[in-house]
Amino acid sequence: MKRILVVCPGSWDEAALSRPEIAGRYQILRAATAVWDMPWYRLLLTHPADFAREIARRHAGADKVDGVVGTGDYPGALLAAAIAAELGLPGPPFAQVVRLSHKVLSREIHRRWAPEATPDFAALDPGRPHEPPRLAYPFFVKPVKGTMSIGARLVRSRAELAAALRFGWRERLSKRILLTPFARMLRSIGEDRVPAHWFIAEEPLEGVQVTVDGFVANREATVMGVVDSVMYPGTQSFRRFEYPSRLPVAVQERMGGIAMQIMTGSGFDHSCFNIEMFWDAARDRLSVIEVNPRMSYQFADLHEWVDGVNTYDLQLRLATSEPHGFRRDTGRHGAATSFVMRRFRDARVRAVPGPEAVAELGRRHPGSRVMILCGVGDRLSDHDQDVGSYRYAIVNMSAPTREALELAWREAETLLRFEFED
């Protein structure tokens, strides 16, 4: 039985890795979320490279592992790459994971390998908010290292740009502390031109948003499929993610070609990836939003139900140099969706669905997965959220057809009762 070290496992990891098909083939070990759990002063004093070496020493002898996996954006995937390198195990090159995780450095890679799909961009120093970039207004502003859409906004004037980059001393301090490990990673690979606390300005993009899921094995990139992003009407907040995509096959093939150009050219290897893109149908233009050098854990179920291969199984094979065995369209269902339950006002949680309701949904729709993101007594704003909305649950489901899936979702909404107090 092979031994896999999972770095900074999250709730999706714990649920997926406890499945019998995983437990029967692999022994799962965990490298605790030490970077996050450290008091702030230790976070400032501990270098990620020291953390990686410490974990590697622990698993280089009698406690040897066969592979290292990290699915989280920060710091899981980054630390996993560093630990795998220390142990001489398969994994994406650490330097490339760092670059692809930095929005400006990643854009430079996109521009080199897929210039036709790379929007115009520029680095922004938040310490100089009155020095606008060369881009014409309006443009989007995002942290060069962020999560979800936190801190992202459209700015239409110099005053709005200054407001977007204006932070109180507490926010500046917490951001610097949070990004200290990433800043040290950047310096360790000789990339300190655009510091971790800076922002990126990007030209606005329009169209249908999707995610291209894929993997690289021995420098050969493979596209698994395209997942559609469906927004709540009139917003930029995700309502659900549908697989397979409704886009024309020719458009999906072009997206796949761009994804393979970027990932092969970047030197990424031995891991899954996902790339967010836009298709502007009016101009027939494809644009890369961002590259995530890690698997999309939220979509692992979707690929299993439609393609017959769970992305976690695939990621573990890649981490141990096993044949990936990926094939399309061999799953039991023709449609799968990840539904995101949201509110557009903050609230305190009064009640969440109990185990009986979740179990009943599973009986009616086998395989359904419910991830409750809040607890009774919480305020929704206590948890990381997109701008302008508040997620409180994610429900993954599948069905033979899209029509049957829509009916199943209506049933899920009835069973999974949440109560809120404004």
CATH number at residue 13: 3.40.50.20
Tell me how many domains the chain contains: 3
Poorest-pLDDT segment among 24-33, 92-101, 148-157, 204-213: 148-157
Task: Report the C-alpha gap between 30 and 195 in whole angstroms.
Answer: 30
Which CATH number fits the domain that encloses residue 135? 3.30.1490
Residue 155 lies in a domain: yes
The enclosing domain of 411 has a CATH number of: 3.90.1170.30
**Is pLDDT above 60 for 6?**
yes
pLDDT in tens, 69-78: 999 988 899 9
Categorize the per-residue pLDDT at 44 as very low, low, confident or very high, splitting at 50, 70 and 90. Answer: low
Give the pLDDT band (50/70/90) at residue 152.
confident
Question: Is there a domain that residue 307 lies in?
Answer: no
Would you say residue 326 lies in a domain? no
**Mean of per-residue pLDDT scores for the chain:** 92
pLDDT at 168: 76
Give the pLDDT band (50/70/90) at residue 35: very low
**HEC-encoded secondary structure of 203-216:** CCCCCEEEEEEEEE
Token pair of 414 as six digits: 């009835």
- Looking at the domain assignment, is residue 339 inside a domain? yes
CA angle 420, 372, 317 (to 5 degrees): 165
Q: For the residues 259-288, what does the mean pLDDT come to?
A: 97
Note whether residue 68 is domain-resident.
Answer: yes
Picking from 177, 202, 227, the residue at the C-terminal end of a domain is: 202
Q: Do the domain assignments include residue 79?
A: yes
Which value, in Å, is the radius of gyration of the alpha carbons in the chain?
21
Task: Give the model's pLDDT for residue 39.
Answer: 52
Q: Which of 62, 97, 132 is the last residue of a domain?
A: 97
Q: Which residue has the higher pLDDT, 355 or 23?
A: 355
Domain co-membership, 93 together with 125: no
Q: Which structural domain range is residue 146 located in? A: 120-202
Q: CA 84, CA 94: separation in Å to the nearest integer?
A: 9
127 lies in the same domain as 88: no
Same domain, 13 and 89: yes
Arithmetic mean of pLDDT, 155-183: 86
Q: How confident is the model at residue 119 (pLDDT cuts 50, 70, 90)?
A: very high
341, pLDDT greater than 80: yes
| 92 alpha carbon, distance to own chain's centre | 16
Residue that is last in its domain, among 202, 220, 250:
202
Structure-token pair, residue 321: 């140099």
Long-range CB contacts (within 8 A, 24+) of 37-40: 40/177
Let me know if residue 23 belongs to a domain: yes
At residue 43, does pLDDT exceed 60?
A: no
- Average pLDDT over every residue of 154-174: 86
| Residue 243, pLDDT above cutoff 90 | yes
Residue 284 lies in a domain: no
